[in-house]
Structure formats: C-alpha cells, structure tokens
Structure 1
C-alpha cells in the first residue's frame, strides 16, 4: 500500500503538530508533501520540513522568507548534515500561499489554520478535488453555501472532535433515521458559575481549559462557549440537519465526544479520552482507523459521567450562534469576525469577559443581512470586514484595567 500524500496547513499550531507526531509514528501510511504556517515560528517550521522531507513550505508573511531559509541551514547544521546532503524545500510566501498548497495534487489536505483565514484554502482544496480534513471550523461557518456548493459527497472529513464523533456515530444508521444531533461541551473553566460571577474573569483564568491545550483564541472561545456556537453552525452545514434538531449538552468529563439520537429512541455515543489524536487520525486516514492513535478509555477504572443542561443566561453565545445560523447569508461570518476582534480586545485588557459575547450580539444585531441570489466570496469578505470594523468601534473605549467605558 502506497503512503497517502498529505498537505498540512497550520503545521506549527496545535492540530498541525499533533498530526505530524501521528505521522511520525505511521510513516508507512503517510508522506507529508507540503506544510504551511503563518511565520511566527520559523525555527519549528524548518525542523518540521527537514524531519519529514517535505517538498514545499509556505508562509503567510513574505517578510520571513529569508529568516526561514536561514532556519533551514541552522537546522541542517544542528542535524550534522554536510552541504549537499539535504535539499531545501521550495518556499512559497504571501497570503495566498496556503491556498496554493491546498490545491496541489495530494490525497488529503489537513486545514488546521485558525480563524477566517482558512476559508480560501478550504475552497482551494475542494475545487482541486482533494479530500479535506477540516479542523478550521470557521471556514465552513463563514463560507456556508460557498463551501456546500463545492463539496462532493464524502469530500470533507471533520476533525473537530465533536463532528468526528457524529460522523463515526452515523456509521451506525442511515441519515433518514436521525432524530437529532447532540454536541457535548465541557462547559469550560467557568462551568457552574452564574453570569454575575463572571464579571471579573481575567485573561489568565479564561486560558485555563480543564482538558485541552489549545491556542489562545480557541481556548477563550471555549470559555465563552462561542466555540460551541460555531460548532453548532458547522454541524448544521456538515450534516444537513436544521438548527432545531441540533442540541448542546454539557458533559464536563469529555468522555463522550458527541451523540446521535435516532427515531427509534436509541442514541449512539462516541467515547474516548479527551484528546485530538483520534479525530486527526480519522481525518488523515478516513474511512480507515489508525491503530493505537490514542490509548483507549480505561473501563476497568471507576468513573462518573455528568450530563447537564446548558446555562443560556450565563453563556448566551450558543443561542446567539443559533440565531445567526438560522438567519444564514453573511450573519455567521459577522458572528465569527466580531468575536475574533472582541477576543483580542479582551486579551489586550480593553474589554471585560462578559462584554465579549454582549458586543458580538450587538454587531450581529446591527448587521442587515442582504438577500443574495448566490452568496460570493466577496460578499462574505465584505461582511467580515464590516463586522471587524464595527467591533473595533465598540471595543475602542476600553481602558487598561479591562473595565467597560462604553455599553456593549
């Protein structure tokens, strides 16, 4: 069996590094053709490129191209290579570099880019006919029909643990037997707190996720449960169920990654340790499973699982996402873009924790969703830019101690 050729977008991030660790243990199954990153960590990018003998490396920031080339030579020297014993990969630079990689002939593109920057690479991979292992939920959320118009059956394999779990559960029944999808949420670091108890939350507290080590944006999104709101919209688009047949249930132990309820009253759940390795492995190898991608759940050890209703008063983000998803058009793009700006304002001390979602709600309310005959990427990007501008206006009045000076 020939190894599957893989392109990894966002290789220096959490999903990308875990994917490469998995591939390192399964070199007979996978060959890394190309990798990309933003350019903040050229040393790690160079190490990955030489370790996996990739042919092409892309960086979004063209200004770091020379630094990357120097990092290649430094890494080669560290490994003891003599001149001529290693080949410098081809370097692509600029904002479209990841899209160029996504369109290259390969077996699977893993999109691990964070945020709306992942949209163009997602579209490029689909247009090229490549299988897309999608960890970048934002590109599907904001792209909506842009993505669903292009995708062929089975072309997208979800890498989010919740959607991977649903995809696995759906193997146990046909689509017309499904009553509802149940997304599980850890509840984040503030599970059980009332809204009044969240007013003084600090950035450090919001970054303390109970189970996963993730990037700061995703971790704060998990604290506000915006992440679960994005996943709700993503599930609607991936699996074709209406929003009112997708629910969120809080499950702090994160043993059950999500569930599918069928019309006969049965529910199938996917269980595993709270790790991304199984969804990543399935994304790369679908429909095949990779042996020992993760240790199994220890059924010999006593454990207690909880399932709790979502507190919409303390965490209104899921309901807000549900409303944005139901409005459709550019509303999900506005929801996502405003949140990215508000999360940064919170990290900068210009916005208190509760005002993140409150401000996003105000931006979404202010947005008038036009009627589109056919949504275009220009429509999406214009709405994204408008939402960021509006959110910056609303967050510009904060001060350094994180207290609001304007009503959001």
Structure 2
C-alpha cells in the first residue's frame, strides 16, 4: 500500500448556527457565512510493503485516525493518491456490524462476509474463530447478553481470521484480560509474518516498538518525523516528558497518601498538578482495601481526584509492572471508551478488572491523569503503589493464566 502526499480537508461555515427559518434569515441577512477549512491531514506519504508493520504515533487530533480511514477507503483524500493492493481490512471499531439479537455464531457469518470471506471459508474456520474468542457456550446466545469485553473478543476473533493483505489497526489490541491480549498480539505477529502489511495506531508505545519495523510521528496533520520505532518512540516520550516538566510547579512538598505511599515530584510523581490524584485504593472482590491478591483474582482501583481548576476531557490510565522493566498491563480510559468527564473540585474514578492473570510475585502499580490529547500529565504516580500476587513459588514469567497439566 502506498500513499503519496495525501491530504484531507474539512469545511464548515463560521458565524454561529445556520439560519433555518425565513424569520432567522431576515434577521441575520441572506448572505451565507464564509467557509472555514481545516486540513486534518496534509502532505503525508507512506509506503508499507508486504510483511511489514508501520506504526503511527501522535497526540489526539494529530490526524492519525483520518489517515487510517483514507488508507482503508472509508474517506477519500482531497489531494494526493493512495494505491491499494489486495484485500484491505480495518480493525477500527470491533463491535461495528455486530447485531445484538443474533447469536455470536450468526454474527461470525455476517461479519466474516463483511470482511471478504465466503460462507464456505467461514464454515471451514468457524471452530478456530470460536476457540480463539474463548466464548464457549455463549457463542450460541444473543450478543445483547454479552459483556463489552465479550463483544470485543468476538469482533477481534472474526477480523483476525479474515486473511487480509493489508491490515489497518486503530487502538484495538488491548482486548480482554492479559492472557487474551497476549494471544491478540501473537496473532498480529503471525499475520505480519505471513506477508500481511500492517499499519498500527496505538497509544501503547511498547506495541509500536515490539510489532513495527518503522514508525511515523504525526502532529497537526503532518508527518514531522519517521524512522526506527525505538528511536522515534524515545523522541516522542522525551517530548511528552519535556511538556510535563515545563508545566510542573516548583518546590512542591512530598505528598504522603492515606495508604502511606510517599510521592516526591521528579522521582515517582510528575505533572502540572492542575488536578491531583489525592488517594489510590486497591480493592478486592469484596470491596476491601488490599495489597495482596490471589492469581487470577479480580480487583478494583479507585482514584480520588481533586481538580484545582475546570478541566475538560481528562484521560485516566493505570499500568502494572516491575522496576524499570516494561509494563505487563497498561490501560487507559480513552481506549476503553470511558469518559472521565469534566473535573472541577473533588471526583472519584473507579476501574474494575474482572481477573488479573499475573504470576505470583511483587508488582508495582502506576496511575495517572492526563490532558485530553495526552500532551502532558496533570498527575502521574510512577511505580508508587505496591501489589503482591500471592504464591509460594514466584514464576520466572509475568503471566499466570489458569492451567491444568495432564498426561495423554
């Protein structure tokens, strides 16, 4: 797939709401307000070869999703040209096209046809799709009874078995629990290694580093840099850190949370502090505060927030890892479709995790509150909240999915 100097322009009229009646026209005059234009994408070129994955990073509003929709044919460019080879499949909205009154099995056939498969091809691989989705007996019940996570697993399972020549992915790889997320990533690797060209948009910078051979950085609709993922992701993180550092207040005293955690600016706490996370509670399934959980147990995390000025469109995030190593879990409210809402004064945000399939051992949790376009953090606690997964013998790995050994 090749894109050469593509651009997408949106037009609107300025000067307030459009006159809809003769009276409004008479009062305002019959002249139309002048047209305003905005180039969401302009002058972007991209060449993705078979078996290659290219990551696209940038803040919200930088033009990433508009570019992906042009590549997929959902939008047509206003300038430049796009050349597509083979079957193009987009993982943009996994639940689009899923009908609630039909069973999961029936939806597989419908969405498989939409993805370009014949009925015979769907029948030949339906057992594999169902097994991948891990929906079990629920596959023959109406989708309206599914949880949001079950619907996402169904949508991804169909899309991941459609054998596209070009795969476009927009923020959909963190589906389900940790074990299922790993399976999704393994499937993407297999699709790429099978000769599929992949364009990936995600806020998960680690995914760009692990999956992609090249990356491009977009800002205000233009490509401002491209190169090796490790280099580009590093520069992007530095830019975010610089923005956060410039906004950080000076001479802030250490904050001791009710849990006893001590936060020090510049060490394990970063942000402008326009809004603060004043307490973090980790709760077990019974709603009691804990620092230890059993492998595979569910938990909830509550963030008490205090906004010192009106804030619109904040994003919340939570990750779990160990020391300087990569996170084993990285969640954010935007990707999960949750809106924190406007903040002004005190508020509380809670995330419920159905099960956490981590191996026994010590972990640390990071939590954060970010500006609407992820340009900087209001308050970020790095590796500040300990969490222990119980077990006599800590595993060498990080995941601990349910399992059974047997001899056949």
Bucket of the pairwise TM-score, normalised by the shorter protein: 0.3 to 0.5
Computing the radius of gyration from Cα coordinates, the structure with the larger value is: 2
Q: Given the two structures, how large is their TM-score scaled by the length of structure 1?
A: 0.33
Higher helix share: 1
Higher strand share: 2
Q: Given the two structures, how large is their TM-score scaled by the length of structure 2?
A: 0.33
